Amino acid sequence: MKKHTRLLVLGGLVLGLLAACAQPTPEVIEVTRVVTEKEEVEVTKVVQEEVEVTKEVLVEVEVPAEPVEKTVVEFWTTDNEEERVNVYEAVAAGYMAEHPEIEVRIVPIEEAGVTQRMATALAANRPPDIVRMGVERVAAFAADEILDEDAAAAVIAAVGEDDFRAGPLQMVTNPATGNYAAIPYDGWIQAIWYREDSFEEAGLDAPISWDDIDAACDALPGTGNLLYALTLGTDPGQNYPHQVFEQVAMSNDAWPFDADGNVTMDTPEMIEALDFYAGLQRCALPGPQYWRGAREAYELDQSGMLFYSTYIMDDLVDGSGLEGGGNVEIAVEDLPGKTGFASMMEGPNGAASYGQLVTLAIPQGADPAAVDVAAWFLTGRNYIDVLALAPFGKVPVLESAVDGWSELSPYFAEYSPETLSQIANGFETMQRWLFRPDYDATERAVVGDIEGRLLIPQVISNIALEGIMTPESGAAWLQEQVEALLVERQG
């Protein structure tokens, strides 16, 4: 039997298409098969197994930070116009950028509503942390133990006590404790603005003392184009006469109450002040007059003296607004350069300047962060930015801020360095009947009533214009009226 040998070469190509890119490509395997008659076959088999591989991958994932509960510092401000609120919020934003754990919330309020709003907040046990308000409210709040005097002292120390003007610090001092009840912030100064050129021509001294004012009253009419020495506040329906007379009275040590709380509207000092004031009508624009007529007569080269606050500084350059529209045409070339500023008045028994001081107060129960926030609003550029809102009516209480303040308005360049210095220093002697340290809350309320009910303007009109009162009878009438107000307040 013949044997047959067959050689078979089988080529097998195994192709695998795998979805995962990590899978290996199959190899090509050659299989040799020898077949005999007995058909004994040896087979080589390739087995492909899938193996699952675990791979560790590092991936950066941004995880939100845990929310932080912020401390809210509520700041009430009587700078409540939108433009001013925006600046306060910008200053607050700068603080919050450095202190992300603090939220400073600016709340605009009305000046007239501060007392009622505070009472409501206290009743709800939710007082603000900082309040911007006039100094006339500080004494009453301090007497009611609403204010945190330790916090006020801490702010003043943080800013630098030596940097504050002495006058404003005295005005915020609580006479009952000897501590600072609030922090001085800014304000304005009243003065006699006067024609230096005309005074020099007439050989007059600056109108500071009563004698110098009297001398100017008699000498100025007829000097140059001047028809009158001044315009006197005599309108019985306006507050302007009260503001001017109060400075005259304080310069003679005439006050509504004495240290024992007795009404003192008919003292010799008060009678003398009424006599001096009403006597100036002899050289004044015919009445009745108030601030508008006084301002226009000075701008029109008709009078040589003007009682007014620092708010007039731009008006002496551009002319003040008229009731019917437009502005007064300034009749004097370089009127600001020819204008002097006399904020101090010296009488027979004293000296005084007059104006307004605005404060920052921190109530009891305020968050401790209020101290740092209040100091921030008095620091560097932050403070200057707030003063820039109304440079003429925001005279700085910090000596270090005077240079920056003096550059806030182009109108300041129209005035002499001496005038700007006098304005900046006006706080040193500034007083008000309302600010007398030893007056209690009731007495201060009566002082407010005297001003609010226009008692002084009525008496001045009756003496200077109507001639139906003398200084003596006018003082007696004031004594009766104020005694009645005191009884009303005490009842």
Say which residues have a Cβ less than 8 Å from residue 233's Cβ, sequence separation at least 6.
240, 241, 242, 243, 244, 245, 289, 290, 291, 294, 307, 457, 460
Beta-bridge mates of residue 358 = 134, 186
The DSSP annotation for 235-288 comes to: -TT-SHHHHHHHHHHHTTT--SB-TTS-B-TTSHHHHHHHHHHHHGGGGB-SSS
Alpha-carbon gap, residue 488 to 452, rounded angstroms: 15
- CA nearest to 23, candidates 47, 56, 53, 46: 53
- CA nearest to 4, candidates 41, 43, 36: 36
Q: What is the SS3 assignment for 134?
A: strand
- Do residues 489 and 445 lie in contact, with contact meaning Cβ atoms separated by under 8 Å? yes
344: its two tokens: 């101090």
191: its two tokens: 């003065």
474: its two tokens: 């006018």
Alpha-carbon gap, residue 71 to 104, rounded angstroms: 8
Helices (H), 29-127: 82-98, 114-123
Q: Kindly report each contact of residues 81-84 with a partner whose C-beta sits within 8 Å and lies 24 or more positions away, as own/partner.
A: 83/389, 84/389
pTM for the model:
0.77
Kindly state the DSSP code that residue 464 receives in the 8-state scheme.
I
87: its two tokens: 């600046």
The DSSP annotation for 146-207 comes to: -B-HHHHHHHHHHH-GGGB-HHHHHHTB-TTTSSB-SEEEEEEEEEEEEEHHHHHHTTPPPT
- Do residues 251 and 347 lie in contact, with contact meaning Cβ atoms separated by under 8 Å? yes
The mean predicted confidence, pLDDT, of the chain is 88
For residue 247, what is the enclosing H or E element?
helix 240-250
- Do residues 365 and 74 lie in contact, with contact meaning Cβ atoms separated by under 8 Å? no
Angle, CA of 20, 22 and 26, to the nearest 5°: 90
For residue 29, what is the enclosing H or E element?
strand 29-35
pLDDT computed for residue 58 by the predictor: 60
Alpha-carbon gap, residue 471 to 306, rounded angstroms: 23
Q: Is the dihedral of CA 372, 375, 380, 382 positive or negative?
A: positive
- Do residues 267 and 303 lie in contact, with contact meaning Cβ atoms separated by under 8 Å? no
- CA nearest to 106, candidates 133, 135, 84: 84
Report percent pLDDT > 70 for the chain: 86
pLDDT computed for residue 276 by the predictor: 98
pLDDT computed for residue 143 by the predictor: 80
Provide the residue-wise pLDDT of the chain in tens; the chain has 491 residues. Answer: 433 333 333 233 233 333 333 444 444 444 444 444 444 444 444 445 555 555 555 656 565 555 568 999 999 999 999 999 999 999 999 999 999 999 999 999 998 889 899 999 999 999 999 999 988 888 888 888 999 999 999 999 999 999 999 989 988 988 788 899 999 999 999 999 999 999 999 999 999 999 999 999 999 999 999 999 999 999 999 999 999 999 999 999 999 999 999 999 999 999 999 999 999 999 999 989 999 999 999 999 999 999 999 999 999 999 998 878 889 999 999 999 999 999 999 999 999 989 999 999 999 999 999 999 999 999 999 999 999 999 999 999 999 999 999 999 999 999 988 888 889 888 888 889 988 878 887 898 899 899 999 999 999 999 999 999 999 999 999 999 999 999 999 97
Alpha-carbon gap, residue 391 to 423, rounded angstroms: 11
Residue type (1 letter), 374: A
Query: Would you report the helix, strand and coil content of the chain in percent, each value rounded to 5?
Result: 40, 20, 40
Residue type (1 letter), 110: E
Q: What are phi and psi of 31, to 5 degrees?
A: -115, 125
Beta-bridge mates of residue 250 = none
The number of residues in the chain equals 491
- Do residues 189 and 426 lie in contact, with contact meaning Cβ atoms separated by under 8 Å? yes
